[in-house]
Chain A
Amino acid sequence: MSSNNNKEEPKKPAAAPPAKPSTTKTTAPAKPATPAAAKPPAPAAPKPAAAAPPPKKEPEPPAFEKGLVDEIKKKFGDSIKTVFIRPLRIKIQVEPRDITEVATFLRDSMGFDHAESVTGTDYPKDGQIEVTYHLGSYSRDDLGAQVLSLTTRTNRDDARLPTLINVYKSVEYHERETFEMLGVYFDGHPRNERFLLPEDWADIPPLRKDFRIKGR
């Protein structure tokens, strides 16, 4: 099976990466510091929203999505920070103290009725962890393709956020996973406890950047 595989794919994209890894791999042990240094600018970029990534896409934010953001902004004003507005994708950032209120508004008035996933991303350079709720809608047809990323950031050393379980029941397991993978404690969540990891796991949360896979 695999020999057949190899026969058919001596073409570039498949062949090239195996060549590359050797270079990346040799530099890898030394590199971790540099990527870490290089990485944060990416997350930091969203703040000066017009800086790095947007220029090509930002010029004309799609009307429908912009309308949605305007509606949220009308209600909450400057406490909502728009990170980007792209076709079908919106990302807004709020302070942890506002998140429950904003989520309730999104659910009740905007029609975002469920959370698809909850993602945590560690930004050691900023000393923060960003938690993203991907919200979608089943009940409103025009929102079917939209995914609204509701994000908030918390201090990395004392990562605590209010839970959204009372607004979106669907975040229950996702938040629990975020707790164990990134060590973000969700205040009010009934079970901030072990979920996917082994019961005897005794290390730092594995999706934090300072956790390294053994031997890497």
Chain B
Amino acid sequence: MTSLEDKFEESKRLGLQIVKESEEDRLMTLSIGPQHPGSGHFRFTIKVDGDYIVYCDPDPGYVHRGEEKMSEYRNFIQNIPHLERPVIHDSTNITYAYSLAVEELVGIEVPRRGQYIRAIASELNRQVYTLYWLAIYGIFLGHSTMFMWPTGDRELFIDLLEALTGARVTHAFNIPGGVRNDTPDGFKDRCIRQVRYFEKRLKEYEDIFYNNPLFRQRTEQVGVLTKEDAIKLGVAGSVLRASGIPYDIRKAEPYDIYNEIDFKVQYMKTGDSFARSYVPFLDMKESCHIIEQLLDKMPQSGEVRAKLQPNPKGPPGEAYRRVESGRGALGYHIISDGTPKPYRVKISVGSFRNMLALPFLLVGQKLADMPSVYWSLNYWPVEADR
């Protein structure tokens, strides 16, 4: 039998153009996104050696809009509508932290009823976001039902938010000093009815998706992020909680009325893709309880927002306030120089922080596991780009 070397010699002698493959030839560079259906407006370059990913480099910025720079040109109130653009599906939460920071700078006290309505709106909005995320996760893994169900059930909360705020997706509902308007008639009953229905649906989600052996095989023990690494990488939100750290801003640093609400921080210890996808689901369940409590405890009457001067401004200073959004801690660092426009606005978002975990987790994985790892990071490209 001729050896491989001999064969090459033979082929050379015969004048055949057969060349041996070099090490580099084995690596193939793939560009995931920015037009990939699952990636969002985000690209990352990976190199694969056969089936395995050996290199990953995120390349964000396709939807960078300069929100931070734009904020410096508008006053504190004008900033609200454009600041919610990074995550229109979670627009109440992203303006929540902004409102808290401006309130601290300007020195506004929010009426109690306003605080409750705010919290209700942000919990409803978190559900909207998580359902949207779950829908994409489902279709990304080839589970069409899990795309359609959450997309349909999302309408429950969108309808509630529409009744509350007047808009379906971009609400601009939180403003410094409270919320834009009061709850409509019969909101409480409707809200409780729809939330209870949704709780029943969650059971079905669990049966068809989370307990699906195929889904489990694709996610369990895939892309494990240990507790130590999670801390080192400074990840946020469900990614952090899936790695065994029960950290939730609502509990760690309760804002508004969250210290009056009884809830548990949902977390898991395995740190794999399954945990990262299951923690948001547990959060949705817990959020249903929170909404019911908020509706029960909400003062029946009263102001929903504090009186604001037309062009609010405060003394020079700075504030850093955080809320728990659908993607983890979301903070605003606002520096004011005493004028009605902020001097500098920094938006610190969970997505941007979780992006660091992407190359860390992907290298060493099989290419087929890329979708389950990538989207389990709860990464929202538009938010990361700002």
Contacts and interface: CB of A to CB of B under 8 A. Distances in A.
Interface of A: 1-2, 4-5, 7-9, 11-14, 16-21, 24, 35, 38-43, 45, 52-53, 88-89, 91, 113-117, 119, 121-122, 132, 134, 138-139, 144-145, 147, 149, 168-170, 172-174, 177, 181, 195-198, 206-207, 211, 213, 216
A88 B319 CA distance: 11
Interface stretch (B147-155, B173-181, B290-298): B173-181
Contacts of B68: 181, 207
Nearest to B184: A8
28 contacts: A8-B180, A14-B175, A17-B310, A18-B78, A24-B311, A24-B340, A38-B337, A41-B337, A42-B335, A42-B337, A116-B331, A116-B353, A117-B331, A117-B333, A117-B346, A119-B348, A121-B343, A121-B344, A132-B333, A138-B230, A138-B245, A144-B247, A169-B232, A169-B356, A170-B356, A172-B356, A196-B64, A206-B66
A13 B305 contact: yes
Contacts of A169: 232-234, 356
B196 interface: no
Contacts of B172: 5
Given A35-B341, A117-B353, A169-B234, 15 more contacts: A1-B166, A13-B308, A17-B77, A21-B74, A38-B339, A42-B317, A42-B338, A43-B337, A114-B233, A116-B234, A121-B343, A169-B356, A170-B232, A206-B69, A213-B66
B311 A16 contact: yes
A170 B354 CA distance: 10
B317 A114 contact: no
Interface of B: 60-61, 64, 66, 68-70, 73-75, 77-78, 166-168, 172, 175-177, 180-181, 230-234, 236, 240, 245, 247, 252-253, 305, 307-308, 310-311, 315-318, 320, 322, 329, 331, 333, 335-341, 343-344, 346, 348, 352-353, 355-356, 385-386
Contact of B232 (A114, A117, A197): A114
Nearest to A9: B180
Contacts of B385: 196
Contacts of B253: 88, 144-145
A18 B348 CA distance: 28
Contact of A149 (B245, B317, B320): B320
Contact of B336 (A24, A42, A177, A198): A42
Given A16-B77, A121-B344, A196-B60, A134 B320 contact: yes
A117 B348 contact: yes
B83 to A, nearest CB: 14
Contacts of B315: 52-53
Interface centre among B70, B167, B320 (most CB of A within 10 A): B320
B311 A119 contact: no
Nearest to A57: B317
A39 B167 contact: no
Please provide the 4 A-B residue pairs with the shortest distance between their CB atoms, ordered closest to farther: A170-B234, A114-B234, A42-B316, A117-B348
A143 to B, nearest CB: 9
Contacts of A213: 66, 69-70, 73
B308 A16 contact: yes
A109 B322 CA distance: 25
A138 B73 contact: no
A119 B333 contact: yes
Contacts of A11: 180-181
Contact of A8 (B61, B181, B245, B348): B181
